Amino acid sequence: MASGAAPGAAVAVAVDGSIVWSEAFGEADPNTRFGIGSISKALTLAAAMRLVDEGRLDLDAPVERYLPDWPHSGRGITVRRIAAHQSGLADAFADRHYNSTAHFPDLDSAYRHIRNERLVYPPGTGSVYATGLFTIVGRVLERVVGEPYPELMRRLVFQPASMTRTVLNDPRHPPPDRARFYVRTGGKVQPATTVAPSFKLPGAGFLSTAEDMARFGAALLRPGFLSPGARSEMFRPVPLTDGTATIYALGFQSLQEEGRRVLLQPGGGLGIAGWLALYPEQDVVVVILSKLTGSPLGDARRAVAESFLR
């Protein structure tokens, strides 16, 4: 903050299921709702894992089992492969609409474009990070439960995890406590252009607070939200079809830091920068959110984590 790396940021840490530190800096307070970008992927996959626990979703079933209009039938594309960034599909629609202000009224209207992405490599043979493709996962969840994506997320994730301040990032109706988004242009911090993430809600479409995201992380680590088997499956990296190891689990990257296992998911975008970090063996969750694109939060996240992990 002192170096001008962000005009506002918030930190929250949970240990053994309880928030032990929450503080905001600069143009922010603990109630400020930041954009969380791709941290949204972890939220979507948590909903999927709860449906796995209920026996209603098979991560390894072909997408066409749930979406009859799926144009890639027989190619072996599954929710697990999409979640682990191994679907083989291009993410061109999301790339083209990164700065778009177009509003899609529901997931289906965006899915009808994204489903036609080109297959660029056989599913499971490579790993290319993608965001727009998570809209396909969202549509699968809608078909499984028979509810619109926002409602199923509220019922399956936000309410059970006591997340009261997590909402869709809809620039048409911003909540009064939404962070102002900034970018750095020519060395100066300036307001970010308003864009609409409605086509990629499951992959990068939520606003939240650091405290809410810490509660989410704590719920994932504690008994009750997921079964031990579902939790283990969510946190386990998905290998390629030839057995090659990857860092991508379901909604997280699984890494080693200082000899400890950590589940990480970064979030970025216009006026968005953040980290969600889970240390499952130590039952520690660290969240840092900022409202400036490219804020260098990685070192801060590691330093905060080390303070509590010690």
Bridge partners of residue 266, in order along the sequence: 275
Question: What does the H/E/C string look like for 5-38?
Answer: CCCEEEEEEEECCEEEEEEEEECCCCCCEEECHH
**End-to-end Cα separation, the chain, in angstroms:** 24
Does a structural domain hold residue 277?
A: yes
Does a structural domain hold residue 49?
A: yes
Query: In the numeric block, which tokens belong to residue 128?
Result: 């290319």
Looking at residue 151, what is its pLDDT? 98
Question: What does pTM read for this prediction?
Answer: 0.97
Residue 270, phi then psi, degrees to nearest 5: -70, 110
Does a structural domain hold residue 258?
A: yes
CB 140 within 8 A of CB 79: yes
Looking at residue 178, what is its pLDDT? 97
Looking at residue 112, what is its pLDDT? 98
CB 230 within 8 A of CB 45: no
Does a structural domain hold residue 178?
A: yes
Q: Which contiguous run of DSSP H or E holds residue 87?
A: none
pLDDT in tens, the chain (310 residues): 777 778 999 999 999 999 999 999 999 999 999 999 999 999 999 999 999 999 999 999 999 999 999 999 999 999 999 999 999 999 999 999 999 999 999 999 999 999 999 999 999 999 999 999 999 999 999 999 999 999 999 999 999 999 999 999 999 999 989 999 999 998 899 999 999 999 999 999 999 999 999 999 999 999 999 999 999 999 999 999 999 999 999 999 999 999 999 999 999 999 999 999 999 999 999 999 999 999 989 999 999 999 999 8
Does a structural domain hold residue 2?
A: no
What span, in angstroms and rounded, lies between the C-alpha atoms of 138 and 107? Answer: 7
Query: In the numeric block, which tokens belong to residue 17?
Result: 């299921």
Looking at residue 120, what is its pLDDT? 98
Does a structural domain hold residue 17?
A: yes
| Domain count of the fold of the chain | 1
pLDDT in tens, 55-95: 999 999 999 999 999 999 999 999 999 999 999 999 999 99
Domain that holds residue 127: 8-309
CATH number at residue 275: 3.40.710.10
Does a structural domain hold residue 1?
A: no
Looking at residue 5, what is its pLDDT? 78
Distances (CA, A) of 168 to 18, 104, 205, 297: 25, 13, 6, 23
Does a structural domain hold residue 90?
A: yes
